[in-house]
Structure 1
Amino acid sequence: MRLRLLILCAFAVLPFGLWALSPLVSSGASGPSLNEVQSKIRQKERQIGAKKGTERVLTTDISRYTSRIRDLQGRITGLQRRQQAIQTDLDAKRSELVRVQDQLRDERARLTRLKGRLVVSRRALATRLVELYKADRPDLITVVLDSNSFADLLERGEFLRRISDNDRRIVAAVKTAKADAQATTTRLAGLEARQQKVAATILTRRDEVAGVKNDLVSARSGYERTRAGRQNLLSSVRGQRHALEDDLGELQDQQAKIQARLADIASGGSAGTLPAGPIKPGSGGMIWPVNGPITSPFCETRAWESCHPGIDIGVPSGTPIRAAASGKVVLMQPESASGGYGNFTCVQHTSSMSTCYAHQSRFGTSMGASVTQGQVIGYVGCTGRCYGDHLHFEVRINGSVVNPLNYL
């Protein structure tokens, strides 16, 4: 009973704002607690680290396969040059083969002619031998005794000499034809063997080069498919990491808001209790809305958080925001309506010039109100898309954002 009374007394003396915000530091139905958000942040950081490790492995694999593909391509290029040299040699071999085939045809025709001559010579020899056998060939004494005169003797002697010379020519022609026929047959056999050897060399070298080249092309295609798969996987992992980093940014933003609200409550109540500080005049006619360092400079095109229209000035949450010049409040949008700008206020100073103040923790003026230079119009915070307490300050001319430093 005493313990129950102590708990009730503790809640009775607890400031209303801290009691209302207690679900932020302990689990509750109204929203995630700070511990839950921090736990999710650690989980996202671990997941991002794992994705980065996978990216490093995939990048290494892709580099390795790229190196292998370059090596294979170099070997394929070398084989292509070798193939061109072989093709030139093959063309020469084909020309040589044509010459060998022409020689073969010539030798075959010559052999046919020689065989014909051999047949004719053999027939003439056979006929002559028959004639000599049938006609009893006279010897030298018979020719001398039967001669009627010396002139007749000479005539008969010349006749016998011519017959003998003719017989020798016939025999020599037969021997020559036979020898030519044998030599031609031998040459034909050599030419045919040479023809077959050249043809076999051509086919072998062609098949070897084509086979090695096809193997290398197949290996390169396999590496390219593997590399493409790794690249697709790397793109997927990077996309997942970017999504995790976006989630992490939102969680860090949520953590900063919770911590800022807890710090505000712990300091004694509502936001905006920090002193406004001295007015800091600028050289361009305006005053600085808050006193602090520029954490993000101005640039023409928004590409990254550190490069965007306007400037970011780093100051603690709850720091009062002063109007940079006198004017009229023409725009006030809560975080739910302005998106990334959070709680957003714009003050019209002239017909063409206005200033805007984003990421406020709460407003300090009202729509349509006339404000004087230096008047507090809001309080610094981290509403909308931000990663820490700061004031986003813009100067606009005819609605277009210009460099605020030209007017401060």
Structure 2
Amino acid sequence: MRLRNVLAAALLPVVLSVGLWLVLPLGSEADSTPQGRAASLQQKIETTRGKIGRRKGTERVLSSDIQQYSSKIRRLQGSITTLQTREQRIQTDLDARRAELAQTQTDLRSERARLARLKVKLANGRRILAQRLRELYQADKPDLVTVILNSKGFADLLERGEFLGRIQDQDNQIITLVRNAKKDATSTAARLDKLERRQQQLTKIVLQRRDEVAQVKNQLIGTRVGYQSTKAGKQNALTKVRGERKSLEDHLDELQKESDKVQAQLQGTSGLPAGPIKGGSGRFIWPVNGPITAPFCEKRSWEACHPGMDIAVPTGTPIHAADGGTVRIAGWVGGYGNYTCIQHTASLSSCYGHQSVLKVSVGQHVSQGQIIGLSGSTGFSTGPHLHFEARINGAVTNPMNYL
């Protein structure tokens, strides 16, 4: 018993492998037929179109970013130009202040030289005044009576009086000179100090204004350089994405040409009658005879679940009703293009998209196998095929459950 169990466990993988090998079709055989090649090419075309779509989306985002950065750079450049103009005005003001300061400094040097001369003159006046005071202190000042009594005559009296007057005038001149020189020296020194402080203060204010403007301008220039660098990076990325898209589009053209050749081969050599010759194990018959290029609920770049199955057939292939029923929809429906839906039971319907020609109308009763239209590529389609759906109470379900 144990031996039989061991042998059964050992042989089970071999039996399963052989069974799967017998049941499943070989990939190389499927791809070697025109139908297999058409299905493979259609899958590659769908994949390439998805890549192209994603790159176009990236291009739009990058282009939008580049436009935004260009606008920011233009606004910054406007601010920088305004600051440069303001900086130039301040520099002109600063140059004028510096010229005024230089003139003031020249005037200061002249006034200082004059002040030095005044100080020398003041020192001389003080020395003369001090000498005169010593003389007056050492000799008694002659009074008028003494002068008259000691005069030898009227002429001598006049002469002595004039002499005394001259001495008095000289003394007054010396005192006035010393007083004025001191006052002038004090006033000049105060005025010069005030002028120098004022000019230095103005120059400092102008320098500070210029430095502040220059600092803001440099910050804006730095930001602009950063924006320009980011914009250049996005421009390079955009150029790269555009190149990739162009390559993909060229590749897509080659795939489409090859697919057209395969379709021509299918039309010329298949020998199949137009329409479904293939019955199913369920209640539906196949609406057209061709390879499935997209199964039900396949994920795509633009949709999470493809709501039907795509069957690759050339444009103009007759489409047969999968089952008998009443036509509920027959017309253009958005991305489906020319679209037909047939209600078979109270809950079950079948639908057919991307038709080139509709051959039934709403309310018409059709029988199973009746031609209801011709295949095409209307609506959102990447190539000629039939989009076939099964719906339960309006919700899509896997058509393979009924084929």
Per the shorter chain, which TM-score range? 0.5 to 0.7
Q: CA deviation at 1:23?
A: 9.1
1:136-151 equivalences under 5 Å are: 136-151=140-155
Q: 1:127 to 1:140 in 2, by over 3 A?
A: same
- 237-246 vs 47-56, greater mean Cα deviation: 237-246
- Whether contact under 8 Å (1:97, 1:198) holds in the other structure is no
Q: 1:102 to 1:183 in 2, by over 3 A?
A: same
Q: CA deviation at 1:241?
A: 0.9
1:13-28 equivalences under 5 Å are: 27-28=30-31
Q: CA deviation at 1:260?
A: 2.1
Highest RCO, 1 vs 2 (Cα 8 Å, sep ≥ 6): 2
Q: For 1:96-152, what per-residue CA distance to the aligned partner results, in whole angstroms no more than 9, with x for missing partners?
A: 122101111011101100100111000001100110111111112222222232222
Confirm whether residue 213 of structure 1 aligns to residue 217 of structure 2. Answer: yes
Q: CA deviation at 1:159?
A: 1.5
**Gap regions ≥5 residues in structure 1:** 1-21, 270-315, 318-386, 389-408
Q: CA deviation at 1:251?
A: 2.1
Q: 1:193 aligns with which of 192, 197, 203?
A: 197
CA distance, structure 1, for counterparts of residue 180 and residue 200 of structure 2: 30
- Whether contact under 8 Å (2:31, 2:40) holds in the other structure is no
- Whether contact under 8 Å (1:115, 1:177) holds in the other structure is yes
Q: In the alignment, residue 184 of structure 2 is paired with which amino acid?
A: D
CA distance, structure 1, for counterparts of residue 162 and residue 30 of structure 2: 149
Q: In the alignment, residue 39 of structure 2 is paired with which amino acid?
A: N
Q: In the alignment, residue 170 of structure 2 is paired with which amino acid?
A: N
TM-score, structure 2 as length reference = 0.58
CA distance, structure 1, for counterparts of residue 256 and residue 73 of structure 2: 44
- Whether contact under 8 Å (1:25, 1:34) holds in the other structure is no
Q: In the alignment, residue 114 of structure 1 is paired with which amino acid?
A: L
- Percent same amino acid at aligned positions? 52
Query: Which residue is 1:182 aligned to?
Result: 186
Query: Which residue is 1:275 aligned to?
Result: none
CA distance, structure 1, for counterparts of residue 27 and residue 41 of structure 2: 10
Q: 1:261 aligns with which of 257, 265, 278?
A: 265
Q: In the alignment, residue 224 of structure 2 is paired with which amino acid?
A: R
Confirm whether residue 237 of structure 1 aligns to residue 244 of structure 2. Answer: no
The runs of at least 4 consecutive aligned structure 1 residues that moved more than 6 Å come to 22-26
Query: Which residue is 1:65 aligned to?
Result: 69
Query: Which residue is 1:369 aligned to?
Result: none
Q: CA deviation at 1:267?
A: 4.0
Query: Which residue is 1:37 aligned to?
Result: 41
CA distance, structure 1, for counterparts of residue 251 and residue 196 of structure 2: 82
TM-score, structure 1 as length reference = 0.57
Q: CA deviation at 1:191?
A: 2.0
Secondary structure, counterpart of 1:147 in structure 2: coil
CA distance, structure 1, for counterparts of residue 202 and residue 101 of structure 2: 7
Q: In the alignment, residue 168 of structure 2 is paired with which amino acid?
A: S
- Whether contact under 8 Å (1:26, 1:35) holds in the other structure is no
CA distance, structure 2, for counterparts of residue 71 and residue 27 of structure 1: 62
Secondary structure, counterpart of 1:91 in structure 2: helix
Confirm whether residue 167 of structure 1 aligns to residue 167 of structure 2. Answer: no
**Gap regions ≥5 residues in structure 2:** 1-24, 274-314, 317-381, 384-403
Q: 1:103 to 1:91 in 2, by over 3 A?
A: same
Secondary structure, counterpart of 1:33 in structure 2: helix
- 129-138 vs 213-222, greater mean Cα deviation: 213-222
Secondary structure, counterpart of 1:27 in structure 2: helix
Q: 1:199 to 1:268 in 2, by over 3 A?
A: closer
Aligned residues: 253
Q: For 1:307-340, what per-residue CA distance to the aligned partner results, in whole angstroms no more than 9, with x for missing partners?
A: xxxxxxxxx99xxxxxxxxxxxxxxxxxxxxxxx
Q: CA deviation at 1:268?
A: 6.1
